[in-house]
Amino acid sequence: MTHDLLGRHRAVLPDWLALYYEEPIEITHGEGRHVWDAEGNRYLDFFGGILTTMTAHALPEVTKAVSEQAGRIIHSSTLYLNRPMIELAERIAQLSGIPDARVFFTTSGTEANDTALLLATTYRRSNTILAMRNSYHGRSFSSVGITGNRGWSPTSLSPLQTLYVHGGVRTRGPYAALGDGDFIAACVDDLVDLLGHTRPPAALIAEPIQGVGGFTSPPDGLYAAFREVLHERGILWIADEVQTGWGRTGEHFWGWQAHGQHGPPDIMTFAKGIGNGMSIGGVVARSEIMNCLDSNSISTFGGTQITMAAGLANLTYLLEHDLQGNARRVGGLLIERLRAAAAQVPAVREVRGRGLMIGIEITRPGTDEADPATAAAVLEAARAGGLLIGKGGGHNTSSLRIAPPLSLNVAEAEEGAAILEDALRSIP
């Protein structure tokens, strides 16, 4: 059955539409932190549909909200008043930390980043964008143009002039050997030097923790130091919270808060987890920035009632059950367990992350050379053991990505860590 479905997939879908595993699986249903495939195999899910099933599979509160809203009205577009959209926007504006915030809903993180770029370039009247090396911001024409990860950038054509800045990867690059303070100072000096050679950019866009890049991050405070330089020149700061938002890092509700000494970003984008599987993305910005467009605009599917109902129910559950605190506690246990296991595996260069956003970088033992074949083998071994994880990273995609639903409990964390330990030890 699965083999037949794979043949049909290949017959009608693009060759570049990636599938995991040598024998791809069809996931048919899920509950809590587990999913089942078409063959009846049960898996502990440590990737959540690419960090999108943030709370739990088949969460009753979200399922109920979607069902009840579907029985009333599913969609009307933004041309009409929309109570669920307004209610969710009010809550996100308050949680964002951005003063006098306005919220615009989209259907994805890619579209959210597109909107942020439109706002920033219009507000600043510049099409120059600063972005981080090893970054990823989506798959549209404009977001590919600011992606600093060669594996996810299929074209060099772009409507934007993009300049790439050091700092998103702590343990690679020319400043890797420096201490944290000197690392930040060197990156700031590089930024200042870069700004002296170009026309004034519109904005810096940065993921507080790089998602597709393999869950890499700078020392806390780097973007605060950048912000000081940018603010002096009127350059905006866009925080891409598509993967880091909603408490996933445990220590903070938003990733930018690890760098928030000089206040919140000017623009923040979000998506993925807020809908717990429903298609929600969005942008939060100060009103003067959000309102800078001087032509009409709507969103046909952004903010549609059924997705907003899901988002409201999911956000309520997340806050009432302190899933941020759970990510901090259980994630801390999980990362220490994985570090202990990886210490015995020469191919593991680094275990990094915070909360329930953990990366394991695989290299050829004794070197910094990426080893994507071995990373893929660990992915396969984990699946054979009943665990689903992701992969990513620059340098030829040699990092494993671990991002379970935020309701993960200690017993499940221990179970997943044991499977991963066996998978890592299976490396020849």
Pairing mode of beta strands 348-354, 161-165: unpaired
Both 202 and 227 in a single domain? yes
One digit per residue, the tens of pLDDT, for the chain of length 428 reads 677 999 999 999 999 999 999 999 999 999 999 999 999 999 999 999 999 999 999 999 999 999 999 999 999 999 999 999 999 999 999 999 999 999 999 999 999 999 999 999 999 999 999 999 999 999 998 998 999 888 888 888 889 999 999 999 999 999 999 999 999 999 999 999 999 999 999 999 999 999 999 999 999 999 999 999 999 999 999 999 999 999 999 999 999 999 988 889 999 999 999 999 999 999 999 999 999 999 988 999 999 999 999 999 999 999 999 999 999 999 999 999 999 999 999 999 999 999 999 999 999 998 989 999 999 999 999 999 999 999 998 766 699 999 999 999 999 999 999 999 999 999 87
Both 55 and 110 in a single domain? no
Both 261 and 123 in a single domain? yes
Both 45 and 123 in a single domain? no
Both 90 and 234 in a single domain? yes
Q: Which of 265, 294, 320 represents a domain boundary (last residue)?
A: 320
Both 230 and 128 in a single domain? yes
CA distances to 10, 54, 372 from 318, rounded to whole Å, are 38, 9, 35
Q: What is the pLDDT of residues 127-139, one digit of tens each?
A: 999 999 999 999 9
Both 118 and 173 in a single domain? yes
Q: Which of 285, 300, 320 represents a domain boundary (last residue)?
A: 320
Q: Residue 104 has what pLDDT?
A: 98
Q: Residue 150 has what pLDDT?
A: 83
**Tokens describing residue 181:** 């303070």
Number of domains making up the chain:
2
CA distances to 195, 314, 318 from 86, rounded to whole Å, are 39, 16, 19
Both 274 and 326 in a single domain? no
List the CATH number of the domain containing 191. 3.40.640.10
**Tokens describing residue 105:** 């809903």
Both 197 and 302 in a single domain? yes
Q: Residue 261 has what pLDDT?
A: 82
Both 184 and 229 in a single domain? yes
List the CATH number of the domain containing 38. 3.90.1150.10
Q: Which domain holds residue 28?
A: 2-59+322-425
Both 314 and 211 in a single domain? yes
Q: Residue 396 has what pLDDT?
A: 61
Both 194 and 340 in a single domain? no
Q: What is the pLDDT of residues 155-213, one digit of tens each?
A: 888 899 999 999 999 999 999 999 999 999 999 999 999 999 999 999 999 999 999 99
Strand order in the sheet with 357-362: 348-354, 357-362, 399-402, 390-392
Q: Which of 320, 336, 368 represents a domain boundary (last residue)?
A: 320
